[in-house]
Amino acid sequence: MTDAETISDLIGRVALKDRKAFSTLYQTTSPKLFAICMRILRDRNEAEEALQEVYVKIWQRADRFATGSATPIAWLAAIARNHAIDVIRARKPVGDTIDEAYDLADSAPTPEMQVELRAEGRRIDTCMERLGEDRATAVRRAYVEGLSYQELADLFSVPLNTMRTWLRRSLLKLRECMEQ
């Protein structure tokens, strides 16, 4: 396998929709990601199918890879692992899902839990106000609405790395505020 820098470069090129880089990334990393899928799913056909879906996700999400936050192979492995786990979850029999739905319907929050949830919501709102309007909006659009870093950067007319910095710093401020 090649070094982390090469894989990181390939992911960056895939984010720009470079098909040749995607092919090279696949050839370089697919044995490891297949092994992860195989270890979790324990079925070759399911693992092969899952691997293809993993690479579709990599193609779609390559722009979300932040160099420096994790090694590129760890980022790719996390996508494979999470997808394989999702495949296992999807295997559940329908009867279990219906039983879970009944259990959820019966477990209404107690009055104490409702008070705690409202208080927590107010704390979050207060902390969000401390971020400033543009940062708070960016956080909501990213983590509630699911917009990508690139979509947010375009929306706020800032460079991609600036948006990543905004979100990282905003989350740190939110955590600090919530811990007070």
Look at residues 90, 122, 156 and tell me which one is the last residue of a structural domain.
90
Whether the pLDDT of residue 94 is over 60: the answer is no
> Which residue range is the domain that position 77 belongs to?
4-90
User: Residues 159-175, buried b or exposed e (16+ Cβ, 10 A)?
Assistant: ebeebbebbeebeebbe
* Arithmetic mean of pLDDT, 28-36: 92
Position 126 in a domain: yes
Tokens of 35: 């092994």
Residues 84, 148, single domain; the answer is no
pTM: 0.51
Q: How many domains does the chain have?
A: 2
The three-point CA angle 91-29-61 to 5° equals: 65
pLDDT tens by residue, 128-141: 888 888 998 888 88
pLDDT tens by residue, 70-91: 789 888 988 999 999 888 888 7
Domain CATH number, residue 122: 1.10.10.10
